[in-house]
């Protein structure tokens, strides 16, 4: 049995975007080597402080390299996969020796940070689905949250809740100690105070964003006492990001109990929202009651509506959990928890200086810290659901898409090279045909800046902060993922890579575009996808296996393949299409798409059926 197959023949001069895409991928392949040599010792451990006691920072070690397996998934060199695995193991060992990791998992920290670092293992799962150590680790990590690991009693099945906002391989972290927060005291002084009733010298409480000095020992002691009294027990919406960790186990096994855990936990938060007049409460006490440790207030919890980031830490975890549920069920109503909070915030909008803004925070005086809406979650919602309802949300709040095309200097310089999806959406909507070239230019520029930082870095390893190596990493594939796979990419804090397209090289028997092959997906719809494949090699033919969805969760339908000699009809009716690109050939491919019709899984396709 073979996969449906199409062929493209005839040499053509490759378009500039295709040549530059492959050149940029090759540059990142090479740039990884001096970065790793500078950042790590021969055993892979980071060249940084010999002592680390803070909760924070473990995630940043992983974040410095999680882009390596993502670049490999796009078609990067084999050594990116090898280095990505080596660094995961080395950093895990290093932080276990620091004492912040136990049994390969963070001992106890919040899911704002854990969601950042564990994206790494989701990419490794896609990179080699048959790697036994990855599967075993996925199941072991999931058991820490499903109530099956007595050493990590994070889950309360009776109350359908995670028992603390700081959690991990040792269970809920309560109480926290001075050493847990010590490293970030100067940084936390720059955020608003964690409580509105805090007493500290020099505080101006008329400013709702008032700050306190964490570096003052007396103030620090008071903050810590209140944190332990109010914030370190019970559930918070941030914990919804653990859904992707449990979904990771489902993708290996298809075990219904993992899917059901995600659905049950998401539903528990839906019920808490409904009981709180449509607003997700940000603190659930150890007895399962809203406001139990906060004097009855539904706001004021750890990473909640007020401190430290506000609404983002409610909306984003709701999206992550909802997207996991949607992936496993095909039911887009699981995104309603996220939708409802965006709608609720939009209802609170105010016109300030002629600009419509929504609140980012809620405190004792009500909603405050009004800002312009962020299109990030609206874009992801519409991409995932493809629904008219989510399109209408996007159109109502961002009717003219003003500034969406902009790629300012340093665009893509964020954590692990995050490329905000606004320019990608402008391209998909036909508003910016120059996007591919501009994206490549922006990425190339940031890669060069990163290499310059590596060359200039003569800092003392004992003084390096936890973010140090992220700013030096020159492997930044996310923009190219948007360009090739037809996706805004994964939500950084815990999202899975949900895409219209995924590629395999049937000759090398691995994921990613084959050598010399470039891809541009420019038509992304709920029921169809359009892309161009280019073999930039005028000497050698290249077969490509196109997959519908990163987890083969979609299926292609009927379509056409055109190599310039006229469209050829092709009927797929499955998750894979094999395309044989002759030397220097180009293929324009249009395919129908049925989304979320297959059980998602980490799986290896039948490579022999594509050659």
For residue 182, tell me if it sits in a domain: yes
Model confidence pLDDT, tens digit, residues 203-245? 888 899 999 999 999 999 999 999 999 999 999 999 999 999 9
Give residue-wise pLDDT tens across range 271-282: 999 999 999 999
pLDDT at 416 over 90: no
Contact 261, 328 (CB under 8 A): no
d(C-alpha 417, C-alpha 505), whole Å: 25
Residues in the chain: 611
- Residue 555 belongs to some domain of the structure: yes
Q: Is the pTM here over 0.95, yes or no? A: yes
Question: Among 92-101, 204-213, 270-279, 545-554, where is mean pLDDT lowest?
Answer: 204-213
- Kindly report the number of other CB atoms within 10 A of residue 270's CB atom: 16
State residue 199's pLDDT score: 84
Residue 581 placed within a domain? yes
Does position 415 have pLDDT exceeding 90, yes or no? no
Q: Is the pLDDT of residue 183 over 90?
A: no
In a 10 Å sphere around its CB, with 0-12 CB exposed, 13-18 middle and 19+ buried, how is residue 19 labelled? middle
What percent of the chain clears pLDDT 70, i.e. is strictly above it? Answer: 100
Q: What is the pLDDT at residue 121? A: 98
Residue 17 domain-assigned? no
Confidence band of 287 (pLDDT split at 50, 70, 90): very high
* Position 558 in a domain: yes
Q: What are the CA-CA distances from residue 236 to residues 275, 280, 300, 305, 414 (Å)?
A: 15, 10, 11, 10, 26
Q: Please report the pLDDT score of residue 572 as a whole number.
A: 97
Phi and psi at 366, nearest 5°, equal 105, -155
CATH number of residue 595's parent domain: 2.60.40.1180
572 and 559 Cβ atoms separated by less than 8 Å: yes
Whether the pLDDT of residue 566 is over 80: the answer is: yes
Structural domain contains residue 569: yes
* % the chain with pLDDT above 90: 94
Overall average pLDDT of the 404-419 stretch = 90
State the Cα–Cα distance between residues 105 and 125, nearest whole angstrom: 16
The C-alpha angle with vertex 120 and arms to 117 and 122, in degrees rounded to 5, equals 120
Q: How many CA atoms lie within 13 A of 306 on its CB side?
A: 25
- Paired residues of 530 in beta bridges: 523, 590
The number of distinct structural domains making up the chain is 2
**Would 343 be classed as within a structural domain?**
no
**214 belongs to a structural domain:** yes
- Mean pLDDT across the stretch 522-529? 98
**Is 80 exceeded by the pLDDT of residue 1?**
no
Task: Print the domain residue range for 539.
Answer: 5-11+499-610
pLDDT level of residue 123 (50, 70, 90 thresholds): very high
């Amino acid at each position: 049995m073979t996969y449906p197959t199409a062929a493209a023949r005839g040499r053509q001069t490759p378009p500039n975007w295709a040549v530059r895409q492959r050149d940029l991928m090759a540059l990142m392949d090479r740039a990884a080597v001096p970065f790793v040599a500078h950042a790590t010792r021969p055993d892979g451990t980071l060249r940084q402080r010999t002592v680390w006691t803070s909760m924070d920072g473990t995630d940043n070690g992983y974040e410095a390299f999680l882009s390596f397996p993502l670049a490999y998934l796009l078609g990067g060199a084999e050594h990116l996969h090898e280095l990505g695995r080596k660094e995961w193991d080395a950093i895990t060992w290093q932080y276990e020796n620091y004492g912040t990791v136990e049994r390969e998992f963070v001992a106890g920290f919040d899911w704002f940070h854990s969601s950042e670092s564990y994206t790494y293992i989701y990419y490794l799962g896609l990179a080699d689905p048959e790697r036994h150590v990855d599967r075993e680790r996925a199941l072991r990590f999931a058991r820490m949250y499903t109530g099956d690991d007595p050493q990590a009693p994070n889950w309360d099945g009776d109350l359908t809740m995670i028992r603390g906002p700081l959690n991990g391989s040792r269970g809920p972290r309560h109480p926290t100690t001075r050493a847990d927060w010590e490293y970030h005291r100067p940084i936390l002084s720059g955020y608003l105070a964690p409580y509105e009733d805090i007493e500290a010298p020099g505080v101006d409480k008329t400013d709702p964003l008032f700050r306190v000095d964490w570096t003052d020992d007396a103030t620090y002691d008071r903050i810590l006492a209140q944190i332990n009294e109010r914030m370190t027990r019970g559930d918070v919406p941030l914990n919804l990001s653990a859904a992707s960790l449990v979904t990771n186990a489902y993708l290996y096994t298809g075990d219904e109990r993992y899917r059901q855990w995600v659905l049950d936990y998401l539903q528990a938060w839906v019920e808490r929202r409904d009981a709180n007049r449509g607003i997700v409460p940000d603190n659930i006490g150890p007895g399962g009651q809203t406001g139990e440790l906060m004097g009855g207030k539904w706001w004021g919890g750890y990473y909640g509506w007020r401190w430290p980031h506000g609404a983002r830490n409610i909306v984003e975890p709701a999206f992550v959990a909802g997207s996991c549920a949607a992936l496993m069920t095909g039911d887009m109503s699981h995104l309603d928890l996220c939708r409802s909070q965006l709608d609720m915030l939009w209802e609170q909008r105010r016109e300030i200086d002629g600009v419509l803004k929504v609140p980012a925070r809620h405190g004792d005086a009500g909603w405050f810290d009004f800002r312009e809406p962020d299109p990030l979650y609206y874009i992801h919602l519409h991409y995932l659901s493809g629904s008219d309802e989510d399109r209408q949300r996007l159109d109502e709040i961002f009717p003219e898409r003003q500034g969406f095309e902009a790629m300012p200097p340093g665009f893509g310089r964020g954590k692990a090279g995050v490329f905000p999806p606004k320019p990608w959406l402008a391209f998909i909507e036909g508003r910016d045909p120059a996007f591919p070239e501009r994206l490549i230019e922006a990425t190339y520029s940031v890669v060069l800046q990163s290499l310059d930082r590596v060359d200039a870095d003569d800092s003392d390893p004992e003084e390096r902060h936890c973010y140090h190596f992220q700013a030096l990493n020159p492997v930044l594939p996310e923009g190219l993922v948007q360009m090739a796979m037809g996706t805004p990419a994964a939500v950084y804090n815990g999202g899975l890579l949900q895409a219209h397209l995924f590629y395999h090289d049937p000759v090398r028997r691995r994921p990613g575009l084959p050598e010399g092959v470039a891809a541009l997906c420019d038509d992304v719809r709920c029921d169809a996808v359009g892309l161009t494949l280019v073999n930039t090699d005028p000497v050698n033919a290249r077969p490509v296996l196109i997959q519908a969805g990163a987890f083969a969760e979609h299926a292609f339908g009927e379509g056409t393949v055109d190599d310039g000699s006229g469209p050829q009809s092709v009927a797929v009716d499955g998750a894979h299409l094999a395309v044989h690109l002759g030397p220097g050939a180009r293929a324009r491919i249009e395919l129908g798409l049925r989304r979320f019709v297959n059980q998602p899984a980490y799986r290896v396709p039948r490579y022999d059926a594509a050659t």
